[in-house]
């Protein structure tokens, strides 16, 4: 019998890879919804950061060595992004901030490494979706109570022991309701976490129209509790992409072409840039949109002033009435780490989505997971033009990206593990290391040859 090591190449060709311990994955996912942290040596440490500090080096080694599938361009760009963050912060703030630079780099790329290493097949990916569903359902009563009362239930209970989130001035109520934090640092983060479920849940129950409606309603309602336009925009984009996929039967390249043409057309015909139009139009409060435009203009000026290494965490020139908050993840990343730093991260997102689209996937269930994953990630990445993400949700978004890499890091076009439905072996050409290796033909001719051979050897059949 072939050993596990001998079988591994065949399993990889078949897209079947042994999962790591689920306990470690569950531990990581639980840290995401833990609203606690503490100060140690001037650094804010949360359970998620501690997990990443312990795992990042061995996980990076597994990725680079190819032990978790081929070393992809997305892997390379994330590694370069982390290295550049470390270098840029040292160049701006000096060697005295090396620990701070290190923990920042670990936080921004460590989540991707966890997803890349610990999610290796469809069962692992569904496990993450199941965790998100259970977590949101368990937290929903707390979210509803907070929505009506403004009370941070879980953070308030844990505050005597740990540092926990507190309600800030920016999270003011809307429409007679309060915006919910639940377990995150801001309502927007809760909304984005919930919005990631929409296309994934829809594709998981795509064969049942009733469950599709339930999935959409559940994701929209939990996202709406944040009373923030950005997460709702992410949901709207996902619904639009899913509708396009069903109506046009895919044709994603055509959608991409139309989006590029639309962007260029708006840019040529309008006296405002498309980004400005998005920021100004897609907000609950028009005043908030105007402030974001002013922030964008001032922030972009800071990028042009320090395009290579950025300005780190230093203050930046802006009008006196403009706050220091930058509601644009991509802009703030370029301000802090320069165009090179944000360029590596954008390239990682683009190559991930592109490679995901080019992957040859035979299993229709995995195809459905691919559509759900890509729609949620693309919608979130676009929405991050209008909002900043940080803390555990930032880590989770990067984890989510890495969690979809198994769809192309391992070849999914080969035969699946397990017997064929009719009990026969698959066609010749399978892996020589799998139990589905090509078999000798066992038809009438083969049987006749066997009979003649026995006659020659023993004189009788």
pLDDT tens digits for range 229-251: 889 999 999 999 999 999 998 78
Q: What would the pLDDT profile of 135-156 be if each residue is shown by its tens digit?
A: 999 999 999 999 999 999 999 9
**16 has pLDDT over 70:** no
**271 has pLDDT over 80:** no
Give the length of the chain: 461
Query: What would the two tokens of residue 290 be?
Result: 């105007």
Average pLDDT over residues 409-428: 49
pLDDT number for residue 174: 76
For residues 272 and 56, which has the higher predicted lDDT (pLDDT)? 56
Average pLDDT over residues 212-241: 95
pLDDT number for residue 321: 78
Average pLDDT over residues 197-213: 96
pLDDT number for residue 414: 54
pLDDT number for residue 3: 37
Least confident of 9-18, 175-184, 334-343: 9-18
Longest dimension (CA), the chain: 106
* Of 206, 132, 235, nearest in space to 371 by CA: 206
Average pLDDT over residues 60-76: 94
Average pLDDT over residues 450-457: 44
Q: For residue 15, what pLDDT band results from cuts at 50, 70 and 90?
A: very low
**461 has pLDDT over 60:** no
**173 has pLDDT over 60:** yes
pLDDT number for residue 286: 55
Average pLDDT, the chain: 83
Q: Give the CA angle between residues 58, 61, 62 to the nearest 5°.
A: 90
3-state SS track over the chain: CCCHHHHHHHHHHCCCCCCCCHHHHHHHHHHHCCCCEEEECCEEECHHHHHHHHHHHHHHHHHHHCECECCCHHHHHHHHHHHHHHHHHHHHHCHHHHHHHHHHHHHHHHHHHHHHHHCCCHHHHHHHHHHHHHHHHHHHHHHHHHHHHCCCHHHHHHCCCCECCCCCCCCCCECCECCCCCCCCCHHHHHHHHHCCHHHHHHHCCCCHHHHHHHHHHHHHHHHCCCCHHHHHHHHHHHHHHHHHHHHCCCHHHHHHHHHHHHHHHHHHCCCCHHHHHHHHCCCCHHHHHHHHHHHHHHHHHHHHCCCCCCCCCCCCCCCCCCCCCCCHHHHHHHHHHHHHHHHHHHHHHHHHHHHHHCCCCCHHHHHHHHHHHHHHHHHHHHCCCCCCCHHHHHHHHHHHHHCCHHHHCCCCCCCCCCCCCCCCCCCCCCCCCCCCCCCCCCHHHHHHHHHHHHHHHCCC
Least confident of 37-51, 233-247, 380-394, 446-460: 446-460
What residues does 67 pair with on adjacent strands?
A: 69
**97 has pLDDT over 90:** no
Q: Quote the percentage of the chain above a pLDDT of 90.
A: 59
For residues 155 and 96, which has the higher predicted lDDT (pLDDT)? 155
The domain limits of the chain are: 10-409
For residues 253 and 173, which has the higher predicted lDDT (pLDDT)? 253
Average pLDDT over residues 189-209: 96
pLDDT number for residue 13: 40
pLDDT number for residue 268: 81
Residues 272, 280 contacting (CB under 8 angstroms):
yes
Query: Which region, left, alpha or beta, applies to residue 172 given φ > 0 means left and ψ of -120 to 50 means alpha?
Result: beta
Q: For residue 9, what pLDDT band results from cuts at 50, 70 and 90?
A: very low
Average pLDDT over residues 178-197: 95
Q: Quote the percentage of the chain above a pLDDT of 70.
A: 81
pLDDT number for residue 296: 85
**127 has pLDDT over 80:** yes
Q: What would the pLDDT profile of 22-43 be if each residue is shown by its tens digit?
A: 899 999 999 999 999 998 877 7
For residues 427 and 85, which has the higher predicted lDDT (pLDDT)? 85
pLDDT number for residue 316: 86
The CA distances from residue 446 to 440, 441, 451, in Å, are 9, 7, 9
pLDDT number for residue 343: 97
Residue listed under structure tokens 């991409």: 256
Average pLDDT over residues 300-313: 93
**442 has pLDDT over 70:** no
pLDDT number for residue 427: 39
């Amino acid at each position: 019998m072939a050993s596990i090591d001998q079988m591994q190449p065949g399993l990889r060709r078949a897209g079947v890879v042994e999962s790591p311990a689920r306990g470690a994955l569950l531990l990581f996912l639980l840290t995401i919804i833990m609203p606690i942290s503490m100060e140690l040596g001037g650094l804010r440490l949360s359970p998620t950061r501690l997990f990443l500090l312990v795992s990042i080096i061995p996980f990076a080694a597994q990725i680079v060595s190819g032990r978790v599938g081929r070393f992809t361009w997305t892997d390379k760009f994330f590694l370069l992004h982390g290295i550049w963050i470390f270098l840029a912060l040292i160049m701006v703030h000096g060697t005295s901030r090396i620990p701070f630079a290190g923990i920042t780099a670990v936080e921004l790329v460590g989540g991707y490494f966890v997803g890349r290493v610990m999610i290796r097949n469809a069962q692992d990916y569904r496990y993450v979706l199941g965790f998100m569903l259970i977590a949101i359902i368990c937290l929903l009563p707390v979210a509803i109570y907070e929505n009506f009362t403004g009370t941070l239930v879980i953070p308030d209970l844990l505050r005597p022991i740990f540092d926990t989130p507190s309600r800030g001035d920016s999270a003011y109520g809307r429409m007679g309701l309060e915006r919910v934090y639940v377990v995150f640092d801001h309502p927007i983060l809760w909304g984005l976490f919930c919005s990631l479920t929409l296309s994934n849940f829809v594709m998981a129950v795509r064969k049942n129209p009733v469950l599709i409606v339930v999935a959409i309603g559940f994701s929209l309602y939990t996202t709406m509790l944040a009373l923030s336009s950005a997460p709702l925009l992410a949901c709207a984009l996902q619904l639009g992409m899913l509708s396009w996929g069903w109506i046009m039967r895919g044709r994603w390249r055509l959608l991409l072409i139309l989006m590029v043409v639309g962007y260029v057309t708006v840019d040529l015909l309008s006296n405002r840039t498309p980004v400005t139009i998005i920021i100004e139009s897609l907000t609950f409060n028009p005043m908030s949109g105007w402030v974001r435009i002013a922030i964008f203009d001032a922030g972009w000026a800071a990028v042009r002033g320090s395009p290579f290494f950025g300005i780190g965490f230093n203050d930046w020139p802006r009008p006196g009435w403009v706050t220091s908050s930058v509601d644009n993840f991509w802009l703030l990343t370029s301000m802090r780490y320069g165009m090179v730093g944000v360029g590596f991260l954008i390239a990682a997102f683009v190559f991930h989505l592109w490679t995901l689209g080019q992957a040859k996937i035979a299993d229709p269930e995995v195809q459905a997971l691919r559509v759900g994953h890509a729609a949620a990630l693309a919608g979130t990445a676009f929405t991050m033009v209008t909002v900043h993400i940080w803390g555990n949700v930032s880590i989770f978004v990067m984890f989510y990206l890495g969690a979809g890499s198994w769809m192309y890091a391992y070849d999914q076009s080969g035969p699946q593990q397990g017997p064929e439905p009719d009990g026969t072996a698959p066609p010749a050409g399978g892996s020589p290391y799998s139990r589905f290796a090509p078999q000798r033909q066992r038809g009438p001719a083969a049987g006749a040859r066997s009979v003649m051979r026995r006659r020659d050897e023993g004189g009788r059949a």
